[in-house]
């Protein structure tokens, strides 16, 4: 199946004439990642979808300099197409991508919208009506289908070949039994976020389980070291069951 990014026509209308082609391409890629974030439940406590895209990620995508990548992010912020939230040292910024209302009326002046993100308002950006993508976590996970509840996909981790490795509730429960000291759902989201932000370092289907276990084992051990408690070491049977699953 052919894979491609949508390059939005609205970006070539008059109000975006002064926006660089690189910024238009990166915005389109960000919107594509926004869809992936929805699938992977990358949603904050207020119901806002976010993505990860680093400076190096932008450089890899369009083969540009570091300064150009910085300028592109600045362009998107000035146009109110994205908002960034810092997560702290050595962690990638969360990026909230603002969806353009393609069906807006040319005579319509967008109202100032209350921004749930740090109580910032969405301002009228060159008469463009921009809205946040908001979802309910429960709605995303409650897909109607014939699969048993524990077999339904809960998370999808992007792989090296741009396919996805799916984890169902049974998988998550197994990991919880192996690593009981971890907020498992959050760590799986962290794994997804890392793979989204580092496409060149993604794993193949053959080694993705090792990647997950290595990550979770490290986090579990860090918790044990902080708490000075005895580890709950997975047995050989636990690993055999996980690998065969």
DSSP for 170-193, written as a single string: HHHHHHHHH-TTS-HHHHHHHHHH
Q: How many helices (H) and strands (E) does the chain have?
A: 8, 7
pLDDT along the chain (245 residues), means of 10: 73 88 93 87 84 90 93 92 84 87 46 41 42 51 46 82 86 89 88 87 91 91 74 63 63
User: Domain ranges in the chain?
Assistant: 9-137, 144-244
CATH 1.10.10.10 is the classification of domain 9-137: yes
Q: Is 225 helix (H, G, I), strand (E, B) or coil?
A: helix
Per-residue pLDDT, 236: 65
**What's the DSSP call for residue 56?**
H
Instruction: List beta partners, residue 114.
Output: 121
pLDDT at res. 101: 67
pLDDT given for residue 10 in this prediction: 86
pTM passes above 0.75: no
156 in Cβ contact with 143 (< 8 Å): no
How many alpha carbons fall within 13 Å on the CB side of residue 1? 5
Longest dimension (CA), the chain: 67
């Amino acid at each position: 199946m052919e894979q491609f990014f949508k390059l939005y026509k609205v970006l070539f209308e008059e109000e975006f004439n002064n926006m660089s082609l690189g910024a238009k391409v990166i915005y389109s890629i960000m919107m594509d990642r926004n869809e992936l974030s929805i699938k992977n439940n990358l949603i904050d406590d207020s119901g806002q979808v976010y993505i990860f895209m680093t400076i190096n990620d932008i450089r890899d995508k369009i083969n540009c300099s570091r300064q150009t990548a910085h300028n592109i992010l600045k362009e998107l912020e000035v146009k109110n197409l994205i908002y960034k939230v810092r997560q702290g040292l050595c962690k990638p910024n969360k990026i909230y991508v603002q969806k353009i209302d393609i069906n807006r009326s040319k005579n319509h002046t967008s109202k100032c919208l209350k921004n749930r993100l740090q109580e910032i308002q969405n301002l009228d950006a060159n008469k463009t009506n921009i809205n946040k993508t908001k979802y309910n976590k429960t709605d995303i996970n409650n897909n109607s289908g014939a699969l048993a509840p524990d077999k339904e996909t809960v998370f999808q981790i992007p792989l090296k070949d741009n396919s996805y490795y799916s984890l169902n509730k049974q998988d998550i429960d197994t990991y919880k039994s192996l690593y009981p000291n971890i907020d498992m759902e959050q760590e799986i989201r962290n794994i997804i976020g890392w793979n989204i932000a580092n496409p060149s370092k993604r794993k193949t289907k053959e080694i993705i389980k090792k990647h997950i276990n290595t990550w979770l084992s490290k986090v579990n051990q860090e918790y044990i070291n902080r708490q000075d408690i005895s580890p709950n070491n997975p047995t050989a049977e636990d690993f055999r069951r996980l690998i065969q699953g």
